[in-house]
Homo-oligomer: A and B are copies of this chain.
Amino acid sequence: LSSRKSLISQSTADSVRVYDLDLVRDLVGKVDLGDMAFLELVGRLPTPEQSVMTNAVLVTLVEHGLTPSVLAARLTYFGSPETLQGALASGLLGLGSVFVGSMEGAAKLVQEGLASQDPEFPRRTAERHFQESKRIPGLGHSLHRQEDPRTERLFALATETRIAGPGVALMLEIAGCAQEVFNRRLPINATGAIGAVATDLGIPWQLCRGLGVVARSVGLLGHIREEMDRPLAPEIVRWAEDG
């Protein structure tokens, strides 16, 4: 056996292998970065429809304005401009339970619901969260109260590419029940849509947060670029010190 220690990748004098593909011969110039993410997460290359959808999910997650994550990266760059990787890492560390990590919760809910094969799962989920005064992962957004524009686009694309399957269907059912039980508008937010779509793409919920981490690392690059020319971090510090 050529590699006991990793089945994913091996580097030799002649080649770099990723799963059963040769990096140079099979991948470079033939697939895009979103396809590589699919390959890493699922273990094989995506179909053209899965490629479109995976990239759509990732592109959706690249930017969301001046988030805490972006501000942390810019502040770290201010102190250590010689280490781009440190600034990016600093920004990624805030992608926890409150923001991007929430898509993990939505994907988990959907994947557990599908595994349960319980037709009452959506209603019982809504009722349980209502009784415990808890938010349902993937529903509601402080900014996009009526409709999250990202959700509409992702679901339209999931229909168009025929990726939409049991995951998207279950998420819609949960949202329907939630609206009845909570008796108010609870739109599916971007992380809810992504949790549902990721399920239909075959991505385990434990790895969904990784989609956000990868995508945001792309977005952070742009903010570091701007920080180089038009620093915001010193202004933040000035505002903070100016008690």
Contacts and interface: CB of A to CB of B under 8 A. Distances in A.
Interface string A85-115: 1111110111111111100000000000000
A198 interface: no
Given A33-B33, A93-B90, A243-B6, A218 B214 contact: yes
Interface string A27-39: 1110111101101
A238 to B, nearest CB: 10
A132 interface: no
A80 B83 contact: yes
Contacts of A181: none
A49 to B, nearest CB: 11
- At the interface, is chain A mostly helix, strand, loop or mixed? helix
Given A40-B225, A207-B224, A80 B62 contact: no
Contacts of A90: 72, 76, 89-90, 93-94
Contacts of A79: 67-69, 94-96, 98-100
Given A68-B237, A86-B96, A94-B79, A56 B28 contact: yes
Contacts of A34: 32-34
20 contacts: A3-B243, A4-B243, A9-B66, A10-B241, A11-B65, A18-B222, A24-B60, A33-B33, A68-B236, A72-B76, A72-B90, A76-B93, A77-B94, A79-B98, A82-B97, A84-B210, A85-B93, A86-B94, A92-B92, A214-B214
- Closest 4 pairs between A and B when the two form their complex, measured CB to CB: A80-B96, A40-B222, A11-B65, A79-B94
